[in-house]
């Protein structure tokens, strides 16, 4: 770990030396935005919006917009706290080397203060404008991602992203809670879909980037149990995920279009997972992993976008004999 620490200190020192004294912030606006993990934020906004739309209730559009903003900022805050905590390992992984803290553009203390301020502000704001159940769920999500996942699970167990995946699965519930003041089976199913989707998604990336994680000392499944076991686990999780993806239609809050989209995209997801399982060596194996990683994002997007489209565009046609 001395190597990691040295690299971080060297990078930070280089950043400071090339610019101003350490007491002056070196960060540009885009560095602070990068601390919020905008891509993760966009996924959180999307899934929280889905939770709001499938909720059995109504919300004033202004309050709804403000609630989504609060959830997005809360998610960004947890990403910021994650980057603050993980700056040492970010400094040794090629994918994260240029993040603002390891690159020396933002001091760790600045990121910590920024993350805590946004966390507290977003939770209080959501509580005041929507309700305290939604705010409580947002606070728990931030705590789960920043403390339970980042500080505890990530460096301790190869099941880190399995358990930690819950943090990314809460937003639909927060969205529903903001509208109705409660959570239902509908968003519990959306929670389960994201929760089961997370391991195959990240393990596909971990198979390709296992060298990075090994250098950083993060016990990802490919480094601990080997690539073959990881491929088996990816396939098993996908076998659970695909039928689970159909559940919204079976329960009744997804319509006929959703059922068709979930079935077709789920079938392709399974094909991608089977290719990862079968192709174990060389460029074909790497290509299969990237294909699964990329399509898993499309798959989740399709499921949630279809749920939104069915409600917003009036395309909801109940599946005969299924659901409510």
Partner 1 sequence: MSGGEEEERDAQGLTAADRRRRRQRSIALALALGLLVALFYLVTIAKLGPGVLIRPL
Q: Which two tokens stand for residue 13?
A: 């020192």
Considering the rule CB under 8 A, would residue 24 count as an interface residue with partner 1?
Answer: yes
Q: Which two tokens stand for residue 140?
A: 């728990």
26 vs 306, beta carbon nearer partner 1: 26
**Rounded CA separation 318/324 (Å):** 8
Stretch that binds partner 1, among 13-21, 208-216, 252-260, 278-286 (CB under 8 A): 13-21
Minimum Å gap between C-beta 145 and partner 1 is 23
Residue 55's nearest CA partner among 182, 191, 189 is: 182
Minimum Å gap between C-beta 24 and partner 1 is 6
Minimum Å gap between C-beta 30 and partner 1 is 9
Alpha-carbon dihedral sign for residues 4, 7, 10, 14: negative
Stretch that binds partner 1, among 18-26, 184-192, 210-218, 273-281 (CB under 8 A): 18-26
Stretch that binds partner 1, among 16-24, 47-55, 249-257, 262-270 (CB under 8 A): 16-24
Instruction: Please list, in sequence order, all residues whose beta carbon lies within 8 angstroms of the beta carbon of residue 64, skipping any fewer than 6 positions away.
Output: 52, 178, 179
90 vs 110, beta carbon nearer partner 1: 110
**Rounded CA separation 212/95 (Å):** 8
Q: In the chain, which residue ranges form alpha helices assigned H by DSSP? A: 2-17, 29-35, 38-54, 61-85, 87-90, 108-129, 132-143, 160-169, 171-180, 185-208, 210-216, 221-224, 227-251, 256-278, 282-312
Q: Identify the residue among 16, 19, 275, 287 touching partner 1 (CB under 8 A).
A: 19
**Rounded CA separation 144/101 (Å):** 22
111 vs 273, beta carbon nearer partner 1: 111
Minimum Å gap between C-beta 180 and partner 1 is 17
Considering the rule CB under 8 A, would residue 27 count as an interface residue with partner 1?
Answer: yes
Residue 119's nearest CA partner among 83, 86, 76, 85 is: 76
Considering the rule CB under 8 A, would residue 131 count as an interface residue with partner 1?
Answer: no
Residue pair 291/270 in contact (Cβ under 8 Å)? The answer is no
Q: Which of residues 54-93 bind partner 1 (CB under 8 A)?
A: 60, 62-63, 66, 69
Minimum Å gap between C-beta 26 and partner 1 is 7
Stretch that binds partner 1, among 28-36, 172-180, 182-190, 306-314 (CB under 8 A): 28-36
Considering the rule CB under 8 A, would residue 195 count as an interface residue with partner 1?
Answer: no
Which positions touch partner 1 (CB under 8 A)?
19-21, 24-29, 32, 60, 62-63, 66, 69, 129
């Amino acid at each position: 770990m001395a190597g990691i620490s040295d690299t971080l200190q060297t990078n930070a020192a280089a950043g400071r030396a090339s610019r101003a004294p350490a007491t002056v912030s070196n960060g540009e606006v885009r560095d602070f935005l990068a601390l919020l993990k905008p891509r993760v934020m966009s996924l959180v906004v999307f899934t929280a919006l889905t939770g709001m739309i499938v909720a059995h209730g109504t919300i004033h559009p202004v309050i709804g917009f403000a609630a989504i903003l609060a959830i997005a900022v809360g998610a960004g805050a947890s990403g910021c706290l994650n980057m603050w905590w993980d700056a040492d390992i970010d400094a040794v992984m090629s994918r994260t080397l240029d993040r603002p803290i390891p690159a020396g553009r933002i001091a760790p203390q600045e990121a910590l203060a920024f993350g805590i301020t946004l966390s507290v502000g977003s939770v209080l704001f959501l509580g005041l404008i929507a309700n305290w159940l939604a705010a409580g769920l947002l606070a728990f999500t931030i705590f789960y991602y920043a403390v339970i996942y980042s500080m505890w699970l990530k460096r301790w167990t190869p099941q880190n992203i399995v358990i930690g995946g819950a943090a990314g699965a809460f937003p639909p519930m927060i969205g529903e809670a903001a509208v109705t003041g409660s959570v239902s089976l509908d968003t519990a199913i959306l929670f389960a879909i994201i929760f089961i989707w997370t391991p195959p998604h990240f393990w596909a990336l971990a198979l390709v980037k296992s060298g990075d994680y090994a250098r950083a000392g993060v016990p990802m499944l490919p480094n601990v149990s080997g690539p073959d076991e990881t491929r088996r686990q990816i396939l098993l999780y996908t076998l659970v995920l695909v039928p689970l993806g159909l559940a919204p239609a079976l329960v009744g809050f997804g319509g006929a279009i959703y059922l068709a989209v979930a079935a077709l995209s789920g079938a392709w997801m399974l094909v991608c997972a089977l290719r990862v399982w079968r192709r174990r060596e060389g460029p074909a194996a790497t290509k299969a992993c990237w294909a699964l990683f990329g399509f898993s994002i499309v798959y989740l997007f399709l499921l949630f976008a279809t749920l939104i489209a069915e409600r917003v565009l009036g395309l909801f046609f109940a599946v005969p004999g299924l659901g409510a």
